[in-house]
Every structure is written in structure tokens, then in C-alpha cells.
Amino acid sequence: MATAIRRLLRELQDSQRDLAKEIALLAPVDDEDILRWRAVLRGPRESPYEGGYFELRIDVPEEYPIRPPTLTFVTPVCHPNVHFETGEICLDILKTQWSPAWTLSSTCLAIQVLLANPEPSSPLNCDAANLLRCGDVLGYRSLVALYTRMYAHCPA
């Protein structure tokens, strides 16, 4: 656990100094527990998520960075690779393709990229995926934009 704490303290310092513009917030939830973080992603530009703010819950295992963190959306997100009710994210780097080279910041950036680049062949939201599979890009973008306006307000 000491390795995880050292690494997370360094990542916290790095994020306070040099946070990517795609990430509005990346920090521990409170000073008492360095293993629970909160992130807020800005919706990708030129996507139906643009203008939205999407909160993520990050639970870091004691074996970090050897084992990946668990990231889930707190903000409801309409996306083929995100479970609408639980916020679970289907992304290979969160499971089989994890590497200790990934940081919480780079993982958040990968999720932000996923928002703009859905993979409908491995869906957690079949309705959103089916719109893309059927070629109804306009319908998909309209649905996503609606949910973004409804749920992805500027964070407090």
C-alpha cells in the first residue's frame, strides 16, 4: 500500500501543476482517503457531449499501480460503452490492457477519448450501440446530446 500512496501523492502533485484541459477536476474525495478520487471530464469538442461535464468516481486498489483503478461515471451518460444505470465503463485499459505506465490522469483522458469514439461492438448500452450499428448516426448524436443537456451540467 505504501507504493500506491507514494504514487498517488506524486500524481496529485502532477495534476495540480499540469492538469490537461480535457479534465476539469482530478483530486481525492477527501484528505483522509487517498484511494478514493473524483474526476470531472469536459465533453469532447465537436461531439454530442460538448458542453457537458461528466463526473467519475475513482476507486484505487491498494495494489495500484500494478492493478487498475475502478472508474465509474456518476453522471448518467448515454454511450454504447457505458452502462447507463451503473456508470460501468467498458474499456480494455481498465481490465486486460492495464499497465502501470497509465496514471489516473491518462486513464481519464482515455475515457474522454472513448466518449467521442464509441465502440458499438462491445456495448454496455445496447440501445445506443444499435443506433450506430444500424447507421443512424444522426439519431445517436441527437440522443446523446439530449442526455448531455439533461444530466451533464457544470459541476459545483
Show which residues are catalytic: 90
> CA-to-CA distance for 23 and 42, rounded, in angstroms?
6
Q: Determine how many CB atoms are found less than 10 A away from the CB of residue 107.
A: 22
Return the number of other C-beta atoms located less than 10 Å from residue 136's C-beta. Answer: 13
CB atoms under 10 Å from CB of 100, counted, come to 12
The CA distance from 8 to 34, in Å, is 7
What stretches of the chain show up as alpha helix (H) in DSSP? 2-17, 104-116, 126-133, 137-151
